[in-house]
Structure 1
């Protein structure tokens, strides 16, 4: 394999990235690398990490930027906190540009970071606490959510726990081991409360936030992902939040799941079936969850009507 083929092979596994050390091992000289950068064949993306696509390609994807940050800090570097959650597809945290990377002890003190988006943490993680996600080193899922819930507010923390459970990245049994893992750390008392509220049936952070608003407002749903069937057992629809005794369903309408015309048509047909079967349907958006009283007030009013 010649050096160009080696670079293509390595870059294909690394989101089109190559490190300076890898290029040197392939037989490129420092002068060769500098020339490729000067003529725009390669582009620097992090310290000693280069994007092998030219300037006419699409901007680097988020995962590519995270990989570049981890590669730039050496073999002991790994993604942590929200960046690790992002790699796993765990939802619930606000979108942030920062890339959180950890190094142990002396390595963190000696590391040089040139990209202001990279936040370097000096952290010692035990053996087995770091896994690979699409080839990028990151804290394993249980540790990732454990460290996040110590740092985040309740709504974000519970959303992260729900998402990790829903995706099967952690199990309910796994969550029972987290209190021992975080004992004595700042935020542990609040985090134990977040663990008690986690529910993997929630399919989105919007569902989690809507549920928590109802809980805080004194009208908690008695079930999630409520299946409604007719007398013949035909499935009429599944409600995000349900109050079975009052035949009330609340739907959390996120843009991703409900934003297309096809999804809107399907939602309307499903709602018509449920209404004809005697159910009341409420619909809430992300904006609604920003007001502490709106969702519980609306649910309480609907429950009162159903009681009458």
Structure 2
């Protein structure tokens, strides 16, 4: 005869929900769920992550943002009460864009040691974000430097500048002296300007730069004949006849929703209807095709400039 599970203690259930599906063995014990009760839950679907943490919702899906936040939560619980999420994990908690698809989320005790007592990151001043303790954004960026390539670093700097979490790249350069990854910041940091509104815009701009295209204007304001703002284009090039070539980068999570597609269509019709705008639209998948986005833009600029075949628009 299979023994039915009793309902989970309501306080413990609320705690698991607040901790993105995770509980610690100690939390279970403190709420009346002993090792035999935990074992029965594991037999019914819970997963023992390690000697400290239990996962009560192992089948929550594969959304990258959900997965990142759960990784951070697990690291915090494993490090113990009062732990600090550091580096990339702390930036994920803040909603930073441009993060690597996968990374090793880390959390440390206030002393700067991990769950094993090994020295890790110097923590310094901390803040509370969403109920979790994190370092300042400049410190978290510096902690992340060794794990970032150019595309991710510039996108994350754009986020920090755009949101006002970082005053300037020079501030970060000063703080990073003598730290791991400082050379990367010195080499690539100047490419961030804080005008992008997503990592895809940053990556499109960098691809165009690397391809030798003229630098675009960013967040180009387009007005109707009455001077009313119709929209802002992600990237724009002013053509010889005074028109704009506007490039729009569509993020999958936003622009594939039906209401977003409808709004985009109305917006595009309004822009093209002015007679002063040409529009090219690209997606994240387009950016993954090496050379595709700058190649299409170059061809459009060449036609707009009246250049013969074989000539290209370059900076």
TM-score (norm 2): 0.77
Cα 1:243–1:72, aligned 2, differ >3 Å: closer, same or farther? same
Root-mean-square deviation (CA, aligned residues, Å) is 3.2
The answer for the alignment partner of 2:311 in structure 1 is none
Displacement after TM superposition at 1:196 (Å): 1.3
The answer for the alignment partner of 1:258 in structure 2 is 255
Give the distance between the partners of 2:210 and 2:60, measured in 1 at CA. 45
- Confirm or deny: 8 A CA contact 1:229 1:236 kept in the other structure: yes
Give the distance between the partners of 1:222 and 1:59, measured in 2 at CA. 38
Displacement after TM superposition at 1:294 (Å): 2.7
Displacement after TM superposition at 1:217 (Å): 1.7
Give the distance between the partners of 1:94 and 1:303, measured in 2 at CA. 32
Displacement after TM superposition at 1:207 (Å): 0.7
Q: For structure 1, which runs of at least 5 residues remain unmatched after alignment?
A: 112-120
Displacement after TM superposition at 1:103 (Å): 5.2
- Confirm or deny: 8 A CA contact 1:46 1:69 kept in the other structure: no
Give the distance between the partners of 1:169 and 1:212, measured in 2 at CA. 22
Cα 1:90–1:39, aligned 2, differ >3 Å: closer, same or farther? same
- The answer to whether the aligner puts 1:155 opposite 2:144 as a matched pair is no
Cα 1:284–1:14, aligned 2, differ >3 Å: closer, same or farther? closer
Cα 1:307–1:5, aligned 2, differ >3 Å: closer, same or farther? closer
- Describe the superposition over 1:206-247 as per-residue Cα deviations: whole angstroms up to 9, x where unpaired: 111101111112224442111100220122322100113551
- Confirm or deny: 8 A CA contact 2:86 2:107 kept in the other structure: yes
- The answer to whether the aligner puts 1:85 opposite 2:91 as a matched pair is yes
Give the distance between the partners of 2:296 and 2:71, measured in 1 at CA. 43
Give the distance between the partners of 1:214 and 1:47, measured in 2 at CA. 49
What SS does structure 1 have at the residue aligned with 2:34? helix
The answer for the alignment partner of 1:304 in structure 2 is 302
What SS does structure 1 have at the residue aligned with 2:138? helix
What SS does structure 2 have at the residue aligned with 1:233? coil
- Confirm or deny: 8 A CA contact 1:45 1:65 kept in the other structure: no
The answer for the alignment partner of 1:214 in structure 2 is 208
What SS does structure 2 have at the residue aligned with 1:283? strand
Cα 1:211–1:262, aligned 2, differ >3 Å: closer, same or farther? same
- The answer to whether the aligner puts 1:170 opposite 2:162 as a matched pair is no
Cα 1:107–1:183, aligned 2, differ >3 Å: closer, same or farther? closer
Give the distance between the partners of 1:291 and 1:137, measured in 2 at CA. 39
2:136 to 140, 162, 166: 140
- Confirm or deny: 8 A CA contact 1:258 1:264 kept in the other structure: yes
Cα 1:260–1:96, aligned 2, differ >3 Å: closer, same or farther? same
- Number of residue pairs matched? 288
Q: For structure 2, which runs of at least 5 residues remain unmatched after alignment?
A: 1-8, 307-315
- Confirm or deny: 8 A CA contact 1:141 1:169 kept in the other structure: no
- Confirm or deny: 8 A CA contact 1:103 1:123 kept in the other structure: no
Give the distance between the partners of 1:272 and 1:13, measured in 2 at CA. 44
TM-score (norm 1): 0.78
- The answer to whether the aligner puts 1:95 opposite 2:101 as a matched pair is yes
The 5 Å alignment of 1:84-123 reads 84-96=90-102, 98-102=104-108, 107-108=113-114, 110-111=116-117, 122-123=119-120
What SS does structure 2 have at the residue aligned with 1:127? coil
Cα 1:258–1:272, aligned 2, differ >3 Å: closer, same or farther? same
Give the distance between the partners of 1:65 and 1:106, measured in 2 at CA. 19
- Describe the superposition over 1:262-301 as per-residue Cα deviations: whole angstroms up to 9, x where unpaired: 3223323322322232211112222332344332232222
